[in-house]
C-alpha cells in the first residue's frame, strides 16, 4: 500500500519493492546482519497499482508502473524504508496526501508533539479496508503511540528458535538506527502488523494534521497475540521528496518557517540548498539574566558544605527548606563490586552529623555567609542503592537574596505526566532544558541538556559479565 504525493508519484515502503540477491543478507527479527548490503529494485513492469475508485463503488482501477525510485539510504537493514513508484498516467479519483510540513526538523518536532499529546488533544487513525459483497469499504481505527519497548519483542525476540540464544544488534533492538520508527497499538484483537505494509497513519492533533508515517513489517516478527505494529516516519523521506510536496509552493510557506529552521535547513538537506536569511545571531547567548525566569530559578540554588567543603547543591522550595540528594547527607561504605551488595540493598546508611552541615549562596560562591542546618530528613526508602535519592534540609535562618524554585504542580501524578511530555518534546525542541554551568562576575552560564532513553545508561550501570543469572551493576547510582 502507499499514498499519493503527486499525480503520478506514490510513496511506499522500500521493503515492498526491493529484494536482496543473497538470502543470507536479509535482515529479519531472528537474523540481524552485521553488514550492510545493497538491495535491488523489482522490475517496474511486474508492479501494478490498484487505485480505489470510490465513484465506481470502490472497485479498483489498475495502472502500470514505469519506474521504481528507492531512497539512497535504503539497504538490507531497511532502517530508512521509503521508496517512490512512478505510474504511467495520473491517478484517477485521488488527491495528494496532506503533509503538513516540507521541513524534516519541523516535521520531527511536530511528530514528537503528536506522540506526547495525541491522547489528549486529538487522535491518530489507521485505515482498514474491508470487502463485503464485492464492495470495498474503509474504516478508520484509532491507534495509540506506545513506548518502543512494547514492540521490542517483535524487533528482537527474547529467544531464538528452539529457545537458543541469538546475536542481536542492540541499536536495532533499542530503536537507535538512523531511521525514525515508532510503536503503535489499537484496541482490536488482531495485530496491526497484519495490515498491508505501507498502510498510512493519519493524525489530527491540535494544529498538526495529515499523514505521519507508513506501516512496515519486513524486518519484524508479527505476533498474532499482540495488537501492535511499527511505522516508519515520513521524516526519513522529506528531504528526498521535498521538491514534489505541494505545500511548499504556497506563496506564504517560506514566511511561515521559523528563522532557525531556514538557517538549519542547509545542513540537513542533501540536494536542496535554499537561500538563507541573515540573522543577527543564530546561537543564543548562554548567559542567563538574573531578572529572567531562568535567572530567578538559579537564585533558588544553595551550596551545601560539610566541614566547610562543598558537598552538593540544594534547591530551596521555601525560605527555610531545601531539597537535596540523600547521597549528599549520607555515605555508603559497602563494596558495590560485590554481587550480594548489588542485588540486595541495605537500608542502613551512615548519616553525616548535622553540626557539620552548613549552606551558602550559590551565586556568591565560597565567600558567602554560611547558614547552619538545624535538621535534615532523608527519604524513608533511601538505601545503599540510592534509587530514591531525596532528602530535605531545614535552615536556621533564611539566606539573603534567596528566590524560591518554581514547581509545576503539587499533584504527583500530574507532575509525572508533565515530565514525560517534556522528555518527549525536548528530543526535538533543541536544548530547551539546561543545567547551571558556571557563575562568574554575577553571570550565570547555562549548558543545554537533552533527555535520553535510559538504555543509554546501561553500559555505565551494568557490566558485561553475568553471575548465577544476575547481571552485575558496576555503579549503583542512577539518574
Please, what are the domains in the chain? Answer: 3-249 (2.40.10.10), 293-395 (2.40.10.10), 412-473 (no CATH)
The pLDDT-based confidence of 238 (bands split at 50, 70, 90) is confident
User: Residue 182: pLDDT above 80?
Assistant: yes
The Cα angle at residue 390 between residues 389 and 396, in degrees rounded to 5 = 145
User: Residue 174: pLDDT above 80?
Assistant: yes
- CA contacts within 13 A on the Cβ side of 460: 7
In SS3 terms, 222-283 reads as: CCCCCCEEEEEECHHHHHHHHHHCHHHHCCCHHHHCCHHHHHHHHHHCCCCCCCCCCCCCCC
The Cα angle at residue 88 between residues 83 and 94, in degrees rounded to 5 = 75
Could you read off the pLDDT of 185-226 as tens digits, one per residue?
898 888 888 899 999 999 988 878 889 999 998 888 888 878
The Cα angle at residue 269 between residues 32 and 7, in degrees rounded to 5 = 90
- CA contacts within 13 A on the Cβ side of 394: 5
- Cβ-based neighbours of 430, under 8 Å, separated by 6 or more: 448
Number of H helices, E strands in the chain: 11, 26
**pTM, two decimal places:** 0.56
**pLDDT of amino acid 279:** 34
* Residue % of the chain over a pLDDT of 70: 72
Phi and psi torsions of 283, nearest 5°: -125, 120
Least confident of 303-317, 368-382, 429-443: 429-443
**Look-up of cell digits 524487533:** 155
**pLDDT of amino acid 369:** 79
Residue 296: strand, helix, or coil:
helix
Spatial separation of the C-alpha atoms in residues 112 and 101, rounded to whole Å: 14
**pLDDT of amino acid 329:** 92
The pLDDT-based confidence of 398 (bands split at 50, 70, 90) is confident
The pLDDT-based confidence of 17 (bands split at 50, 70, 90) is very high
**pLDDT of amino acid 447:** 59
Q: Between the ranges 215-219, 249-253, 452-456, where is the mean pLDDT highest?
A: 215-219
Amino acid at each position: 500500500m502507499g499514498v499519493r504525493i503527486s499525480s503520478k508519484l506514490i510513496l511506499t515502503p522500500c521493503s515492498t519493492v526491493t529484494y536482496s540477491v543473497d538470502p543470507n543478507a536479509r535482515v529479519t527479527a531472528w537474523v540481524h546482519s552485521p553488514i550492510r548490503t545493497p538491495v535491488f529494485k523489482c522490475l517496474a513492469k511486474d508492479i501494478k497499482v490498484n487505485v480505489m475508485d470510490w465513484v465506481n463503488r470502490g472497485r479498483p482501477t489498475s495502472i502500470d508502473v514505469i519506474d521504481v525510485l528507492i531512497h539512497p539510504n535504503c539497504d538490507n537493514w531497511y532502517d530508512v524504508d521509503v521508496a517512490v513508484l512512478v505510474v504511467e498516467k495520473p491517478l484517477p479519483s485521488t488527491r495528494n496526501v496532506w503533509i503538513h510540513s516540507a521541513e524534516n526538523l519541523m516535521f520531527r518536532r511536530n511528530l514528537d508533539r503528536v506522540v506526547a499529546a495525541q491522547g489528549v488533544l486529538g487522535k491518530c487513525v489507521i485505515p482498514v479496508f474491508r470487502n463485503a459483497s464485492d464492495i470495498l469499504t474503509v474504516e478508520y481505527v484509532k491507534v495509540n503511540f506506545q513506548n518502543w519497548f512494547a514492540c521490542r519483542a517483535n524487533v528482537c525476540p527474547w529467544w531464538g528458535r528452539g529457545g537458543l540464544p541469538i546475536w542481536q544488534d542492540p541499536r536495532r533492538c533499542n530503536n537507535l538506527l538512523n531511521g525514525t520508527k515508532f510503536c503503535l497499538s489499537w484496541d482490536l484483537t488482531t495485530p496491526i502488523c497484519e495490515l498491508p505494509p505501507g498502510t498510512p497513519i493519519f493524525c489530527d492533533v491540535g494544529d498538526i494534521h495529515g499523514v505521519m508515517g507508513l506501516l512496515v513489517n519486513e524486518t519484524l516478527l508479527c505476533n498474532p497475540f499482540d495488537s501492535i505494529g511499527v511505522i516508519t516516519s515520513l521524516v526519513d523521506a522529506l528531504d528526498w521528496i521535498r521538491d514534489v510536496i505541494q505545500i511548499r509552493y504556497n506563496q506564504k510557506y517560506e514566511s511561515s518557517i521559523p528563522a532557525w529552521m531556514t538557517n538549519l535547513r542547509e545542513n540537513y538537506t542533501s540536494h536542496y540548498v535554499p537561500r538563507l536569511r541573515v540573522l543577527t545571531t543564530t546561537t543564543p547567548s548562554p548567559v542567563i539574566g538574573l531578572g529572567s525566569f531562568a535567572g530567578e530559578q538559579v537564585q533558588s540554588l544553595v551550596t551545601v558544605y560539610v566541614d566547610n567543603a562543598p558537598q552538593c547543591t540544594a534547591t530551596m522550595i521555601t525560605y527555610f527548606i531545601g531539597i537535596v540528594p540523600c547521597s549528599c547527607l549520607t555515605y555508603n561504605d559497602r563494596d558495590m563490586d560485590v554481587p550480594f551488595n548489588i542485588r540486595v540493598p541495605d537500608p542502613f546508611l551512615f548519616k553525616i552529623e548535622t553540626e557539620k552541615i552548613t549552606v551558602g549562596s550559590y551565586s556568591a560562591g565560597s565567600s558567602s555567609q554560611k547558614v547552619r542546618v538545624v535538621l535534615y530528613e532523608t527519604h524513608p526508602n533511601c538505601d545503599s542503592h540510592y534509587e530514591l535519592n531525596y532528602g530535605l534540609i531545614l535552615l536556621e535562618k533564611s539566606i539573603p537574596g534567596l528566590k524560591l524554585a518554581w514547581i509545576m504542580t503539587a499533584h504527583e501524578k500530574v507532575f509525572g505526566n508533565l515530565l514525560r511530555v517534556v522528555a518527549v518534546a525536548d528530543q526535538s525542541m533543541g536544548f530547551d532544558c539546561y543545567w547551571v554551568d558556571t557563575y562568574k562576575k554575577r553571570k550565570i552560564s547555562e549548558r543545554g541538556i537533552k533527555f535520553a532513553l535510559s538504555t543509554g545508561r546501561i553500559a555505565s550501570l551494568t557490566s558485561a559479565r553475568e553471575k548465577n543469572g544476575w547481571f552485575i551493576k558496576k555503579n549503583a547510582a542512577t539518574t
